[in-house]
Chains A and B, each alone.
Chain A
């Protein structure tokens, strides 16, 4: 089957039961998407499918055929994406394991609604778990990125 990821095509052969998360990591060798719980709670595996943030551990790879998938590896070009820059500026990551999930969660939300209120942003960010940062710097980073993304 074919997966379209970050604008490239990947031809893979997987069992139907292989999740999108595992297919990305194992078959496409895109290990930036991380697995934290495998039952759809922690959000570490969040990727963007057809412009919506989804938990890739809750989707089978076969279901993603024909969709446009974006992973963390596709965020930066030569330079880091604004969201990545602000995570760095605001110390929004420590161990980095939950970070790709948060980046894509935030990017998807702000691309869909650039004018998200602070309260709505907090709702979105409460979707994912982080054990290191206590969230404060993640919220600051995403807020700063939101302002810059709107300006552009």
Chain B
């Protein structure tokens, strides 16, 4: 399973990368970051890019910075960078926990945060994180930068709002100081694509949950927040009553993906389990 031939570019700067993308994207050119998703597709010849623009040597694209209550993640930051906490707040705790679910260590050594977002696999953990926490991404095009909020970013299975000549440069996530959180992923084997996952986070104020974020991934075409489930949490004390109501509300609004291994009913069942266990985990 050898890929089709391509012309290889390795720019040193974001500007150079964007220029190459502008020139070659219309002819089938693509960005190569960690390659952990793209190269298998090329091996199966499901992807046949005519040009590959390797951005892994652009120093400006890698690394994280905290500014106020926001974490900025350079798009080419590898998953392994998140093995230890990179910031405070609930985000600082959840990033290593979630990263450990992504594939396996050798994949995490090269796969990148931005690569996962741009790939937009419905079962991607980082996509679920971005969607649930209402993060955003920054993209560079020849004419400048664009900012795309998570709610607008994921448009379908493996599809994003990124124009074909745009280079994803960073993602932004809220630190969520003093939030409680829980995450649960169901997959066939450890490291496999999620059959369903849930990320939940909320702030406890005077004994009740506020600003609840509850999102699911792996179950629908794109990961998303579940506003009906969040409404069932806000204003309620954390506990089985509110959690069960949230789970019920979530199930009702689900549009589950199905395939030869997965019926709609089974997907719904798994989503319920993921939400229940993510919420139960938030009380720890």
Do the beta carbons of A63 and B56 come within 8 Å of each other?
A: yes
Do the beta carbons of A58 and B36 come within 8 Å of each other?
A: yes
The segment out of A4-12, A49-57, A138-146 that lies at the interface is A49-57
The segment out of A38-46, A72-80, A86-94 that lies at the interface is A38-46
Looking at the complex, which one of B5, B43, B52 makes contact with A39 (CB distance below 8 Å)?
B43
- Give the residues from 1 to 55 in chain B that come closer than 8 angstroms, CB to CB, to chain A: 1-8, 10, 32, 35-36, 39-40, 42-44, 52, 54
Nearest CB in chain A to that of B38: its residue: A58
Looking at the complex, which one of B1, B8, B56, B105 makes contact with A16 (CB distance below 8 Å)?
B8
Question: What are 30 inter-chain pairs, A to B, with CB distance below 8 A?
Answer: A16-B5, A16-B7, A16-B52, A17-B4, A17-B5, A17-B42, A22-B2, A38-B2, A38-B43, A39-B1, A40-B36, A40-B107, A52-B106, A52-B110, A53-B105, A54-B106, A55-B106, A57-B43, A59-B39, A59-B110, A60-B35, A60-B39, A63-B10, A63-B32, A63-B35, A63-B56, A124-B104, A124-B105, A126-B104, A127-B106
Q: How far is the CB of B76 from chain A (nearest CB, A)?
A: 13
Looking at the complex, which one of B32, B44, B105, B110 makes contact with A127 (CB distance below 8 Å)?
B105
Given contacts A16-B52, A40-B107, A58 and B39 within 8 Å (CB-CB): yes
> Interface size class for chain A?
20 to 34
- A residues within 8 Å of B by Cβ? 15-17, 19, 22, 38-40, 43, 46, 52-55, 57-60, 62-63, 105, 109, 123-124, 126-127
Q: Hey, what's the 0/1 contact readout for B236-249 against A, CB within 8 Å counting as 1? A: 00000000000000
Do the beta carbons of B8 and A62 come within 8 Å of each other?
A: yes
Chain A contacts for B235, CB-based, 8 A: none
